[in-house]
């Protein structure tokens, strides 16, 4: 019975890594870590269980309590699974600009979903900075009203520590330490900061590159043209509270079209079905091809599955 998990929570982590074979890159090899192998099909399962168990150890929550979180959907689904297994009532607050598959999945997992309408003038299928701020206000209001515990992935240090001790360590082990660069799209910043911390502690010469939308290169210090982009889960022109500039070796950016086209390539040519940020990560990694030595290994993340975006522009095709 060694292969039987005590619960679905024991199935989080230890996700596989795959080499891409048809990128057309001449100098670099790109390895992707398939985080949609987690139970809710997203990398956010890691921080969800980490934040809940941290709160339990500190005596902040007890069975039957209410947990609330602002999310673009993926952290919410991870928390919904953790709360379902552990006996908490979970409320998730998200923008109506996120894909509806995420909201439907949250409801199926027993979560109470509060959808915040998009702000006047904002585009559908996007979550702008204004939309994000509206969700934050609603979350604050409901947290006080419900007397709920909010893990708050945006400021909770467990967010990046989980990635340092699990995701980062897994990457080092899976590559046998043979890694030259790491690339990750910036949402809360936890994935990049945590994994980059692990990699830099392992070997200081590993290059780490955060990725932003081309129209909102805020962390790179460039003028923000607009936060109305399609790469969900980040790019809101906000500096993460635990951002560590010492981990950054350079900034990369991608357009909506680049993220979409590469996500579609991954599905059609590599058999890897991912979302917007997965496409953005690989598109950004490919941009390192001309600047790195032949045989260099670049690692990035496929944070979630394309199944969560079937109603969006990502997988709409002209017949």
Which residue is associated with the tokens 């993926």? 74
**Taking the CB of residue 25, how many other CB atoms lie within 10 A of it?**
18
C-alpha count within 13 angstroms, C-beta hemisphere, residue 279: 30
Q: How far is CA 169 from the centre of its chain?
A: 18
Residue among 33, 44, 102, 200 flagged as catalytic? 44
Active site residue 44: yes
Q: What is the largest CA-CA distance in the chain?
A: 57
Active site residue 197: no
> Any residues with CB less than 8 A from the CB of 144 and at least 6 apart, and which?
none
CA distance 231 to 235: 7
Q: What φ, ψ does residue 92 adopt, rounded to 5°?
A: -115, 140
How many angstroms separate the Cα of 111 from the Cα of each of 40, 90, 180?
13, 5, 41
Residue among 42, 128, 253, 277 flagged as catalytic? 277
CA distance 231 to 227: 10
Residues forming the active site: 44, 277
């Amino acid at each position: 019975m060694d292969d039987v998990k005590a619960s679905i929570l024991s199935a989080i982590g230890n996700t596989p890594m795959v080499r891409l074979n048809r990128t057309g890159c001449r100098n670099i090899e790109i390895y992707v870590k398939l985080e949609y192998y987690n139970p809710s099909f997203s990398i956010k399962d890691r921080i969800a269980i980490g934040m809940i168990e941290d709160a339990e150890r500190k005596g902040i929550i007890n069975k039957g309590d209410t947990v609330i979180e602002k999310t673009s959907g993926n952290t919410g689904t991870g928390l919904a699974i953790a709360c379902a297994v552990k006996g908490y009532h979970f409320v998730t607050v998200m923008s109506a600009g996120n894909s509806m598959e995420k909201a439907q999945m949250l409801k199926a997992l027993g979560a109470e979903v509060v959808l915040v309408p998009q702000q006047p003038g904002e585009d559908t299928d996007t979550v702008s900075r204004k939309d994000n701020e509206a969700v934050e206000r609603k979350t604050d209001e409901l947290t006080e009203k419900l007397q709920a515990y909010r893990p708050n992935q945006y400021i909770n240090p467990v967010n990046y520590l989980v990635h340092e001790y699990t995701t980062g360590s897994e990457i080092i082990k899976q590559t046998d330490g043979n890694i030259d660069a790491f690339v990750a799209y910036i949402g809360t910043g936890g994935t990049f900061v945590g994994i980059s911390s692990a990699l830099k502690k392992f070997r200081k010469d590993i290059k780490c590159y955060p990725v932003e939308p081309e129209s909102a290169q805020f962390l790179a210090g460039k003028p923000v043209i607009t936060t109305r982009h399609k790469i969900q889960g980040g790019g809101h022109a906000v500096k993460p509270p635990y951002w560590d500039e010492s981990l950054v070796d350079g900034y990369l950016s991608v357009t909506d079209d680049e993220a979409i086209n590469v996500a579609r390539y991954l599905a059609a040519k590599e058999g890897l079905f991912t979302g917007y940020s997965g496409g953005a990560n690989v598109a950004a990694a490919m941009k390192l091809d001309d600047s790195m030595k032949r045989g260099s290994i670049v690692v990035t993340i496929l944070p979630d599955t394309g199944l969560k975006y079937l109603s969006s522009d990502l997988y709409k095709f002209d017949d």
